[in-house]
Chain A
């Protein structure tokens, strides 16, 4: 049972344009959501998070939007840079999954110069 889903395995974007990565979840008890970025041969690194009491959180070029009614969150990267090319994982925690992160399968983002 995949409680967190990233339905797009890959995304290709031109440098300078917006990258939008999407994530859906099924567990309504999740109350905290995170995005991680992962380069090959490295562990995931924390990017940005959002609590369920908010619908938007911004940090520089990265903005996360949360739509609780749709159980959907998205990560916007503006403007996209070639160094952003990596695998992006969304993760959620809360409710009975307290104490563990439930990850999506990841989306490979490629930003072309």
Chain B
């Protein structure tokens, strides 16, 4: 069974631009969660999508948005990029809602975003 895939793996953007990251979950998984990893901050939760609906949201500004398609693939968009948005963006998929016991999350390799 293929794992979680994320594209692109690496991205360089300049301040003020916008970016779209893509995540394809494991086949059959309906939940996709997004996390931001920065040095010293660990992984911080962005949002979770389940059956095309945002079910949970972290403490990030409105510049960070996402969506999920009927095939469970998800995209994350960051508008008006800032230098501080440079990070590794990880997505994770699970069979059910991430908060439900037994539904472990499986992570993709991440997209390394550098904002210059």
Contacts and interface: CB of A to CB of B under 8 A. Distances in A.
Contacts of B109: 41-43
A16 to B, nearest CB: 29
Contacts of A14: none
Interface string B97-116: 11101001111111000000
B42 interface: yes
Q: How large is the interface on A (under 10, 10 to 19, 20 to 34, 35 or more residues)?
A: 20 to 34
B90 A43 contact: yes
B42 A43 contact: no
Interface in B56-111: 56, 58, 90, 92, 97-99, 101, 104-110
Interface of B: 4, 33, 35, 40-45, 48, 55-56, 58, 90, 92, 97-99, 101, 104-110
